[in-house]
A and B are shown apart, each in its own frame.
Chain A
């Protein structure tokens, strides 16, 4: 059993480092703030969580519990930060690089603003992603 945990720990550490490297390549090469955030938050958080799981598998007792606690904290806070970051970037009018369907969140926000305040000017006629 100890040998199995040792191999599991090695595999988790290497896998976490590889996934973190893939996330770093994504942060460097993707075309857009939102896609970079996608790479950083998903791959980065998964890489760090896998490394913490590897540390937990390699140790025992309170050491392993502390590593699992750090992993839980990381997995709880990283998606929150990424979500708030993406919403704030979109609200500060940073345009995403869109595909043929356009910016669906911008269309939904225009529609909700028009519902909340009927006296507001209507959305732009050429607005992408008319939802």
Chain B
């Protein structure tokens, strides 16, 4: 199948090199991501790079079986991202007051409006985690 590409002698190695560079940059973000969503984003991007690499391997080794691996990897990537979402939602919700209060202060500092800390505490005290979940479901039913 190598004959299907113009300039296969340099196009395929260059493409592999660019994808390896992308994977290295995303790995830096995966290692240094400050919070859980950054790491989930990095894993998602890394899986897309892996799909591209598998497709290129299928082309350069002329094995159509590898494209099935690419299909399965994209499906598993979707499921894995969804599972990670559930994980960090539950952990952030149960993480307690410190992270939440820090986020509120950071939001107030970024927006420059100076939200009072009492507002954050009142909204926290108004509902347990299950109460907040019910409120979100109501909101979806309305909207």
Contacts and interface: CB of A to CB of B under 8 A. Distances in A.
Same assembly: yes
A21 B114 contact: no
A119 to B, nearest CB: 10
Interface in B10-32: 11-12, 14-15, 18-19, 21-23, 25-26, 28-29
Interface string B41-69: 11011001101100110110000100110
A5 B4 contact: yes
Interface residues on B, range: 35 or more
Given A24-B26, A91-B89, A55 B44 contact: no
Given A16-B52, A44-B45, A73 B71 contact: yes
Contacts of B5: 6, 9-10, 13, 58
Contacts of A21: 18-19, 21-22, 25
A75 B29 CA distance: 24
Interface of A is mostly: helix
8 contacts: A36-B29, A40-B44, A44-B44, A47-B48, A84-B82, A94-B35, A112-B143, A120-B126
**CB-CB nearest 5 A-B residue pairs:** A58-B4, A24-B22, A124-B119, A17-B18, A128-B111
Interface of B: 1, 3-8, 11-12, 14-15, 18-19, 21-23, 25-26, 28-29, 35, 37-38, 40-42, 44-45, 48-49, 51-52, 55-56, 58-59, 64, 67-68, 70-71, 74-75, 77-78, 81-82, 85-86, 88-89, 92-93, 100, 103-104, 106-108, 110-111, 113-116, 119-120, 122-123, 126, 135-136, 138-139, 141-143
Interface of A: 3, 5-7, 9-10, 13-14, 16-18, 20-21, 23-25, 27-28, 33, 36-37, 39-41, 44-45, 47-48, 51-52, 55, 57-60, 62-63, 66-67, 69-70, 73-74, 77-78, 80-82, 84-85, 88-89, 91-95, 97-98, 102-103, 109, 112-113, 115-117, 120-121, 124-129
